[in-house]
A and B are shown apart, each in its own frame.
Chain A
Amino acid sequence: MEIVDRAVHDEDCQHAQEEALAALVDQYAGALYRVAFSVLRNPTDAEDAVQEAFLRVLRHRDTLGEIRDHRVWLIRIVWNIVLDRKRRTKTRPETDDVSELTRVLPATGLSAEQRAAAAQYHAHVLKCVDKLPAREREVMILSAFEELSSVEIAAVLGVTESSVRSRLFRARNLMAELLDHRRSIK
């Protein structure tokens, strides 16, 4: 009798966990995709990263109740996944950022020519971003997300809020230098 009770209890627990996980997917899959895309800049890779992040959550679903902020926790998971993937694909030839951006970025009210020029500019900026030191680059990418506060960025990166601010300041200075340098060469 007790075994049956326990089995029913386990089944209920499992069902509840599955529901909670599905709710997390509905709520945060989009945000996670955007975070993954900002680093990988490839829709397929970004989707794979999101999938992997939720698979990790599935493996640790028993601890879901202990998590205070699911959003930051999930972003941290996907952030670590994309950084790992980026590190592994460094040896692979770089994807063509311009064509990828032309395909992905919204192009409302732009002619084909303007769209291509905008994509080219964005690709150039992203190349400059890639030249930043890793710490500064990571803070700069995450700070572009409106929904992430500096406290949350600090939680994702595992650093203090003050170091997030100082890194962001350095990143901006370096970016200005890089873009200005490019402009002066042209």
Chain B
Amino acid sequence: MNPSKEDDSYRVPGAEGAEATLRLIATVPVPQGLEDRVKAGLQAAPQTGRVLHWPSMPLSGGRWMRSTAARAAAAAAIVFVVAGGGWGVYSRVQPAQSPKVIAMPQRVNTPGGFSNAGAMRTPQTLNGPVLAHPVEETPKLNDGDVKVVPMPKKSQGEKTTARKKAPAKADPR
């Protein structure tokens, strides 16, 4: 039943007038020809939202892929091909691993030659000219003429002291 009628305990004095007005509104006469106008509107409306039915294949009298086993086999073949293709791509393309050790070229310091000044690569130089006649060796000096005294290696502190002391030797006093 309607709640406005079914339970008088909910009635509130003073609100009946409002409810009477609303009931009057709720019973307004329907305009003539409303149904016809609505129907005409529905017929004029575009017929949308129809789902297309995929027609069955006409091959072999419409019995193409009728059996469940054939459909399952076809589905399995499709899955196999797709999965195999994916695995093939996955197995070939592997992410490049970052090297843990970087190989550096060995620097060869040739004794007596020019250093490569820390260059990573040095161009190959041409071989020098080859002498046809060997150069005569210079005569060896006698031991008494010149005495080569090997200079001892000095540390930095000793060098400075030696420089300081040098003018003292030159002092005539």
Chain A residues proximal to chain B, CB less than 8 Å: 1-3, 6, 10, 21-22, 25-26, 29-30, 33-35, 37-38, 41, 43, 47, 50-51, 54-55, 58-59, 62, 104-106, 121-122, 125-126, 128-129, 140-141, 143-150, 153, 164-165, 168-169, 171-173, 175-177, 179-180
Contact = CB atoms under 8 A, between A and B. Distances in A.
A52 to B, nearest CB: 9
Given A6-B55, A33-B34, A143-B19, 15 more contacts: A2-B55, A3-B56, A25-B42, A29-B30, A51-B38, A105-B25, A105-B28, A144-B23, A145-B26, A146-B5, A150-B6, A153-B3, A165-B7, A169-B10, A179-B17
B21 interface: yes
A101 to B, nearest CB: 8
Interface in B1-57: 1-7, 10-15, 17-19, 21-31, 34-35, 37-39, 41-42, 45, 48-49, 53, 55-56
B55 A47 contact: no
B3 to A, nearest CB: 4
B129 interface: no
Interface residues of B, number: 41
A34 B27 contact: yes
A153 to B, nearest CB: 7
Contacts of B4: 143-144, 168
A185 to B, nearest CB: 15
B2 A140 contact: no
Nearest to B49: A59
B15 A141 contact: no
